[in-house]
Chain A
Amino acid sequence: MNLIPLIKNETIKIIKKKRFYVILLILLVLVPIFTYAQMRQAQNNRQKFEGDWRLELQQAITDNQNSLGSDRVPEEWKKYRRIYIEQMQYYLEHDINPNEPNGVTFTRQFLDNSISLFIPLLVTAVASDIVSGERTSGTIKMLLTRPVRRWKILLSKLIALVMFISLIIVSTVIICYLISGAFFGYGGFNVPVFTGFLLFDSDVDMSTVHAVTSWQYILMQCGLTWFVGVVVGVLAFMVSVLVRSTAASIVTMMAALIAGSILTNMAASWKSAKYLFMVNLQLTNYLSGTPAPIEGMNLPFSLVVLSLWALAALIISFLVFTKQDILN
């Protein structure tokens, strides 16, 4: 039997189960909240600096420089701040506002903040249900008694999942842009953003820094987010194959992801944590030039680690699904 009808079947099941609508609803509720918070902050700053971003940025630089002199600030943080200072000075030097308030900038920042937890959670919401949901409802027996090879069934589910991951990311961007644009204005696609900061410990090499337009930057962010989404999706997919109930499989993935966000904040001294997938999710950091949580991490490293985890998850999923007995 051909794969396409199977994929079609899975796609329609996901739509009919309304998981995707729930995700859209979550976005429609949360994005205005974030936008409002951002707007309040912008208003506050406008009051203090009368809308002059250069004054605001210079004060941020000075405040960070002051904290460098304090003995109570940990060396780790100082490293981040030194890099931040240099980058912000670079923006001032070139007279470009890194945070120009508009829908595009908001979307850019939202993607930066959501790549390691929010988007993976949304992906998990679809992926965790995809096999275990069939078990919970008992439809798995009907599915497996049909004259189709089991691996084909699983593959069709996987492809449908990837399709929905793409849809989730694209709809996140569109919803973000449309809603925040209503508050901050829809322009800003051509505002330059700097990328290509090479980090050596606490030094920044500016020789490869170059400007890209905001839309190019967002396209790159989306691509990286998509990769993260697929990896997380595949892992959730594996859990969904292994675990019987959808709830258990969602909780497993959530625990792993949240553990990852906690670890990134404190793992600097535990070097081998960098081989965990959840520490490597913040791929957009390599784009913006934010230091990685653990020394020795860079984009190729993170991509390899994530790919290996995804590959292992795929192998396990297919082995288990084709071999396991379906009881009850």
Chain B
Amino acid sequence: MVNHLLGGVPMNSSKTIWITVSTISLVATLLLISGFIYAVKDIVAPAASENASEAKHEAKTQEPMGNKSEITVAAIGDSLAKGTGDDTGDGFVRRAVTLLQERDGVKVRLLNNLAINGLTTDRLLSKLDEKGVQYVLKRSDIILLSIGGNDLFRAEQTNHSRNMQDITLRIPSKEEILKVSDTASLRLQTILGRIHQINPGAKIIYVGLYNPFADLKQMREVGNEAVTDWNYRAAKMTSKDNNIMIIPTFDLFQENIKSYLSSDHFHPNGDGYEQIAERIIQGIQ
């Protein structure tokens, strides 16, 4: 009595269709409803399940540096390591990698650039506790580090617009800078020690500070003093260990602010980064 609607479909065919479709969809519906109930329960009242730390599955243990034909590089630190101000985005990190590859004819691979704009010594210190960061550092032959500039010069103006006027308005006094420099350089020491501890075999290259205000009368003297003081302390820290070295950049920028700094008057431009990169690879034998 129903079949006249189907345009004369034979009884058998429709019976098979019905039995197949109804069985499969019944099973599917029940399965989906149970999935729905499971999901709602799990979201509304979570934490009933097993502990996350027990979830370790076949964690593939990576063979540590099986391939010695290539040099691995990682960068960590502030906007300088990030390459801010470089129109090509390469910064000294990629430039150094390229230069090193050209010079030595070996494969140099940049594992990760972990640099973050505006990073200060205390935030870097807490970053070093992250497992992902440690993982990268452990696998690197060369670790490029740039830190400290924000502690000295920019600590107070992270939330303000970054044009030149603001910087000149906010010139820290000599005492202020020296005070910050004391605590920050202690943290630098801890940072170097910590990185060395994470990967004792890696060459750690610390990029020294320059004075971005060398051409501003009011800032030149204070800046120079703070930066040379900082670099001196850093050099003392690095002198104890062959695997840690400091690359000077102070002299590069003293008389070349106009040609080596980018328009924000704080970060190097492409040429400035190129100079730093060349110095870095000079330090790598």
| Residues of A that sit less than 8 Å from B by CB | 5-9, 11-13, 15-16, 50, 52, 54-55, 57-59, 61-62, 65-66, 69-71, 89, 92-96, 139, 142-143, 162-164, 166-167, 169-170, 190-192, 194-196, 198, 207-212, 216, 219-227, 283, 286-287, 299-300, 303
Chain B residues with Cβ under 8 A from A283's Cβ?
39
Q: Which residue of B36, B42, B62, B118 is within 8 Å of A69 (Cβ)?
A: B118
How far is the CB of B59 from the nearest CB of chain A, in Å? 5
Chain B residues with Cβ under 8 A from A66's Cβ?
82, 116-117
- Judge whether B50 is part of the interface by a CB distance below 8 angstroms: yes
A58 to B59, CA, bound (A): 17
Contact present for A163 and B52 (CB under 8 Å): no
Chain A residues with Cβ under 8 A from B7's Cβ?
16
10 inter-chain pairs at a CB distance below 8 angstroms, sorted by A residue, are A15-B17, A69-B117, A70-B117, A93-B131, A96-B59, A167-B25, A170-B28, A196-B49, A210-B46, A219-B31
How far is the CB of B163 from the nearest CB of chain A, in Å? 12
A211 to B18, CA, bound (A): 40
How far is the CB of A163 from the nearest CB of chain B, in Å? 4
Contact present for B29 and A299 (CB under 8 Å): no
Interface size on B, residues (CB 8 A): 62
Contact present for B112 and A55 (CB under 8 Å): yes
A-B contact count (CB 8 A): 184
Q: Which residue of B47, B48, B53, B111 is within 8 Å of A94 (Cβ)?
A: B53
Contact present for B57 and A192 (CB under 8 Å): yes
| Residue of A whose beta carbon sits closest to that of B7 | A16
Contact present for A196 and B42 (CB under 8 Å): yes
Contact present for B36 and A223 (CB under 8 Å): yes
How far is the CB of A109 from the nearest CB of chain B, in Å? 17
| Residue of A whose beta carbon sits closest to that of B160 | A71
The 8 A CB mask of B21-60 against A (1 = contact, 0 = none) is 1101110110111111111101110111111111111010
Contacts A58-B136, A192-B57, A220-B38 given; indicate if A12 touches B18 (C-beta within 8 A): yes
A162 to B56, CA, bound (A): 39
Q: Which residue of B32, B43, B48 is within 8 Å of A166 (Cβ)?
A: B32
How far is the CB of A179 from the nearest CB of chain B, in Å? 19
A7 to B28, CA, bound (A): 17
Chain B residues with Cβ under 8 A from A62's Cβ?
112-116
How far is the CB of B12 from the nearest CB of chain A, in Å? 12
| Known contacts A54-B132, A93-B132, A223-B32; 7 further A-B pairs (Cβ under 8 A) | A11-B22, A13-B5, A55-B111, A163-B26, A167-B24, A195-B42, A300-B44
Contact present for A220 and B42 (CB under 8 Å): yes
Contact present for B25 and A164 (CB under 8 Å): yes
Contact present for A208 and B47 (CB under 8 Å): yes
How far is the CB of B80 from the nearest CB of chain A, in Å? 13
Chain A residues with Cβ under 8 A from B4's Cβ?
142
Contact present for B5 and A89 (CB under 8 Å): no
**Most chain A CB atoms below 10 A, which of B4, B117, B158, B161:** B117
Chain B residues with Cβ under 8 A from A54's Cβ?
132, 135-136
Contact present for B136 and A55 (CB under 8 Å): yes
A278 to B36, CA, bound (A): 19
Chain B residues with Cβ under 8 A from A170's Cβ?
24, 28, 31-32
Task: Please provide the 3 A-B residue pairs with the shortest distance between their CB atoms, ordered closest to farther.
Answer: A223-B35, A223-B36, A211-B55
Q: Which residue of A92, A209, A222 is within 8 Å of B131 (Cβ)?
A: A92
- Judge whether B6 is part of the interface by a CB distance below 8 angstroms: yes
- Judge whether B2 is part of the interface by a CB distance below 8 angstroms: yes
| Residues of B that sit less than 8 Å from A by CB | 2, 4-7, 9, 14, 17-18, 21-22, 24-26, 28-29, 31-40, 42-44, 46-57, 59, 62, 82, 109, 111-118, 130-133, 135-136, 139, 158, 161
A283 to B43, CA, bound (A): 11
Contact present for B52 and A194 (CB under 8 Å): yes
Contact present for B49 and A92 (CB under 8 Å): no
Contact present for A190 and B132 (CB under 8 Å): no
Chain A residues with Cβ under 8 A from B62's Cβ?
52
Contact present for A89 and B49 (CB under 8 Å): no
Contact present for A12 and B25 (CB under 8 Å): no
Contact present for B39 and A224 (CB under 8 Å): yes
Contacts A12-B18, A92-B135 given; indicate if A303 touches B40 (C-beta within 8 A): yes
Chain B residues with Cβ under 8 A from A194's Cβ?
52
Contact present for B22 and A9 (CB under 8 Å): no
Chain A residues with Cβ under 8 A from B52's Cβ?
94, 194, 209-211
How far is the CB of B139 from the nearest CB of chain A, in Å? 8
How far is the CB of B121 from the nearest CB of chain A, in Å? 16
Contact present for B49 and A212 (CB under 8 Å): yes
Contact present for B39 and A220 (CB under 8 Å): yes
Chain A residues with Cβ under 8 A from B35's Cβ?
219-224, 226
Chain B residues with Cβ under 8 A from A93's Cβ?
131-132
Contact present for B116 and A69 (CB under 8 Å): yes
Chain B residues with Cβ under 8 A from A286's Cβ?
43
How far is the CB of B162 from the nearest CB of chain A, in Å? 9
